[in-house]
């Protein structure tokens, strides 16, 4: 089965391709097939945004498509940045801009109250109208300073529950085993496999 990866984020595309790799499944980044801008993320939830991106890629290519949306929910910020994690510091924000703003907002928050979670929803949309969903959650806390050089986004400041290391201090294999995106992709992969078995 050939599926389109409906993301223009190279880091995310690489991670998703690795997580979803299995025999009989060919994963093609949308940029390799069509020159189309990413759709505006107008959904009110992660699932709505993931479906919106997957459906747009399916329409543009005529192929089944997979997309994900990830949010960071920080308890001391009443769940912010939530679905706006990628543009927390504004349109065009870099990873560093978003991390800097997050740490500023948490400057006076003690360690015990820096709890947070990553939540990812992966959606696969098929030309026959079927939609499959996988969700993954990773509980943890926000570190006081960035640590590590692996990963991307908020990885340098996110310590998974039970670990003293940030996601950016883990190898790709370690991160994939525990990460929110890994859990969502594995759940989605099982649902896709059941369609082809």
Active site residues: 69
Q: Kindly report the number of other CB atoms within 10 A of residue 43's CB atom.
A: 16
81 preceded by a cis bond (ω within 30 of 0): yes
Measured in whole angstroms, how far is the alpha carbon of residue 158 from the centre of its chain?
14
Number of H helices, E strands in the chain: 5, 7
Cα-to-chain-centroid distance, residue 164: 22
């Amino acid at each position: 089965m050939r599926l389109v990866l409906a993301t223009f984020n190279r880091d995310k595309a690489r991670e998703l391709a690795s997580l979803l790799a299995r025999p009989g499944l060919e994963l093609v980044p949308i940029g390799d097939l069509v020159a189309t801008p990413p759709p505006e993320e107008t959904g009110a939830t992660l699932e709505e945004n993931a479906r919106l991106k997957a459906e747009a890629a399916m329409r543009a290519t005529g192929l089944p498509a997979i997309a994900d949306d990830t949010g960071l929910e920080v308890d001391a910020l009443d769940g912010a940045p939530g679905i706006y994690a990628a543009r927390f510091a504004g349109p065009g924000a870099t990873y560093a801009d978003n991390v800097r703003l997050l740490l500023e907002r948490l400057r006076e928050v003690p360690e015990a109250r820096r709890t947070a979670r990553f939540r990812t929803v992966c959606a696969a949309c098929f030309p026959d109208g079927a939609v499959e969903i996988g969700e993954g959650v990773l509980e943890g806390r926000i570190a006081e300073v960035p640590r590590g050089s692996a990963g991307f986004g908020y990885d340098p400041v996110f310590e998974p529950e039970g670990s003293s290391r940030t996601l950016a201090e883990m190898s790709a294999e370690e991160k994939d085993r525990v990460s929110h995106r890994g859990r969502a992709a594995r759940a989605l992969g099982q649902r896709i496999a059941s369609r082809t078995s």
